[in-house]
Structures are given as C-alpha cells and as structure tokens.
Amino acid sequence: MNTALTEIIPEEVINRLIDQAFEEDIGRGDVTTEAIIDEQAQAEATWTARGQGTIAGVTIARQVFIRLDPDIQWSPRVEEGEEVSPDSDILAMRGRVRALLTAERIALNMVQRMSGIATKTRQFVEAVKEFDAQILDTRKTVPGLRLLDKYAVKAGGGQNHRLGLYDMAMIKDNHIIAAGTIEQAVQKVRNRHPELKIEVETTTIRQVEEALSARADIIMLDNMSAAAMRKAVELIKDQAKTEASGNITLERVREIAETGVDYISVGALTHSVDAFDISQNLQQLK
C-alpha cells in the first residue's frame, strides 16, 4: 500500500481531528515543555516498534508535528501497510524539541490505534490466505474515526465494507418485518435507489432462498454454523456475493473461509483495538 492517508481522506477531516486532539491535549499549552525547553532547541527523534505488527497512519503523524514545526525534516522508514519487527525504526524526524515533545502523545495515539487495527486485520487476512474470502470492516467505529479506521483496515490487507448508512443498502430483520417479506423490502429499496447495491441479512436457508429470488446483490449469512454457510454458498453459486458475519474470531475465521464465502466481516477490527506499542526517543538533545 503506497497511498498516504492524506491523499485519500479529505483534508478537512484530518485537520478537524488534529484540531480536536490539540484542543483536548494541549489546550492552553504544554506547561512543562514551555517552562523548560528553549524555543529554538533542535533535536532528532525516532519512532521504534515495540512488537511485531503492521504500520498505518505515519502520514497523519507528520501532519500533527508540522502543526507545531512547519520546518520539520521528516524521514519515514516504512511505508503504510508495511510489517515491522520489534525494535525496528518506523520514522526519524528532526525539528524543534518543543514540537517533538508536545505533539508526541497526540501523534502516537493516532498511529498506535491505526497500527493496532492494521495488525489485527493482517492476522485475519493471513488466517484465510489460502482461500478467496476477503476480510471486511464494519460500521463499529468510534465517532470521528471512521475514515482513519477504514484506511487502517486497508493498510492491513482488508477491504472496506460500506462507509455508512448512505452508500449501500442493508436490509436487516426489522426491515423485513416492517416490509412483510424480503422480496417486498428489496423492491422498496430498489425503487427508491436503483443505483445502490442491496445486501440482505439472512439467518436461515429459507431466508437465503428468498433473498436469492429477490435478486439481492450480497447475501449476509449472519451467525450461521459453518455447515449452514456451506449449504448457502452452494445454493447461491454466482447469483449473489456472500458475506459471513457475526462474532468472527481469529480461531473460527479459517473454518468460515473454507465454506467458500466471498467476504467475512469482522467488527472487532475496529471496535476492540489493541494499541500497537511504539516509543519515541530523542537524540542529540543538549
């Protein structure tokens, strides 16, 4: 993955996130650094990986430091989506010590979350690599971070599901109950949004048949056993794409991929994130 997130996420989204982080973390100022560190003092700093994982978000870290030192010299040592081993360098930078210290936590908070997501995604992707199944994210993100989280999933080798409630239709149990049947639910959405793909959530083979005859584009097999999924995939063949969903764990994901589903969506990629440990070290500080 060669694409920097600052090229694919709107600048105002990134700027707003950084604004908020500065407001809540720095506020009136970094009282300690401002009292002690000379305004003109310069130093070099490196970021070092503390474990094995996949890096994402280094390009946003640069935007954070640049806010405090526009002249910072920036030398990333890895590309977005690259795997690193413990003690390997992630980036080096040279600039004002005040900027390096004051922006450190904000930048690390962002990159550690994003790299945590990329690392977990890569684990799922690796677990199913013998199969055709793609690992997808979900809408289980925290407010404001949707685009960063989804970028990190791609950095880890996953694919993005819909961005929100607006760019794809997803017909769930309550929609089906309200519409009467799957057929009627699909028809209502198709009449209103002929341009959008329609996914139908199913939990039984009976519902899979209904979704098929309603010509759903994607059929979600929700919380089904592997045996039921295999049967559903057999039935659907190439008439629709299939998505396995519901409490997908690293332990279960291989068995699910074996059923032949096209996609496996994993909420935990973004709702339960282990920060990837990175440390910042200063050199040449006088």
Q: What is the set of active-site residues?
A: 105, 140, 172, 201, 222
Closest distance between a second copy and the C-beta of residue 185, in Å? 6
d(CA 146, CA 61): 17
Q: Which amino acid is at 242?
A: T
Which of 90, 127, 128, 171: binder of a second copy (CB under 8 A)?
171
Report 3-42 residues binding a second copy (CB under 8 A).
Answer: 16-18, 20-21, 24-38, 41
Q: Contact region for a second copy (CB under 8 A) — 75-83, 209-217, 256-264, 269-277?
A: 269-277
Q: Is 168 exposed, middle or buried (0-12, 13-18, 19+ CB in 10 A)?
A: middle
Least separation in angstroms between residue 277's CB and a second copy is 9
Q: Which is nearer to a second copy, 172 or 237 (CB)?
A: 172
Q: What type of residue sits at position 207?
A: Q
- Site residues for a second copy, 68-87, by CB under 8 A, read none
**Helices 104-127 and 146-155, axial angle in degrees (round to 10):** 50
Identify the burial level of 231 via C-beta atoms within 10 angstroms of its C-beta, where 0-12 means exposed, 13-18 middle and 19 or more buried. Answer: middle
User: Going residue by residue from 173 to 202, which x/- string records binding to a second copy, judged by CB under 8 A?
Assistant: -xx-xxx-----x--xx-xxx--x------
- Closest to a second copy by CB, 53 vs 260, is 53
The answer to whether 153 and 161 have CB atoms below 8 angstroms apart is no
Q: Is 273 in the site for a second copy (CB under 8 A)?
A: yes
